[in-house]
Copies of this chain bind each other. A is one copy, B any other.
Amino acid sequence: MEKVTRMGVSLDPELLKEFDAYIGTHRYTNRSEAIRDLIRDALATEEWAKGTGTVVGTITVVYDHDAHQVVDKLTKIQHRHHHSVHSTTHVHLDEHMCLEVIVVQGRPKDVLALADSVKATKGVKHAQLARTAGK
């Protein structure tokens, strides 16, 4: 069973009306769910910006597997940074293009260094870090 705390929030009626429309568009079942989401987004941004503690996220990499020995290079980079790598999934987008998702967990500094190394690898078309939080 999860415990839940209830708090009151005061809003002027016009803002609430606009927020209810937003809730509808984004498919939330109720206002609490939507507000929790806004709070968690703000906290995750904060956690990554502070640079301390342990963060969780993913690095999504798109590359052409035929070019520049990129598979080899990405494998080496991940082993060098194995303390920050939880696991990796490989997806074949088409005949040439691959998408790889690296699940990362560790100190923000280490994870950002890993993401930089991946981004800077010759042959990588695009790489993006999603910053989430483990709690």
Contact = CB atoms under 8 A, between A and B. Distances in A.
Given A22-B42, A40-B126, A120-B27, A62 B56 contact: yes
A105 B87 contact: no
Nearest to A16: B5
A76 to B, nearest CB: 13
Nearest to A88: B89
A57 B97 CA distance: 13
Q: Is the interface of A mostly helix, strand, loop or mixed?
A: mixed
A59 to B, nearest CB: 9
Contact of A99 (B22, B42, B56, B125): B56
Contacts of A9: 6-9, 31-32, 35-36
Interface in A14-68: 14-16, 18-19, 22, 25-29, 31-44, 46, 56-58, 60, 62, 67
Interface of A: 2-16, 18-19, 22, 25-29, 31-44, 46, 56-58, 60, 62, 67, 86-87, 89, 91, 93-94, 97, 99, 101, 103, 105, 113, 116-117, 119-120, 122, 125-135
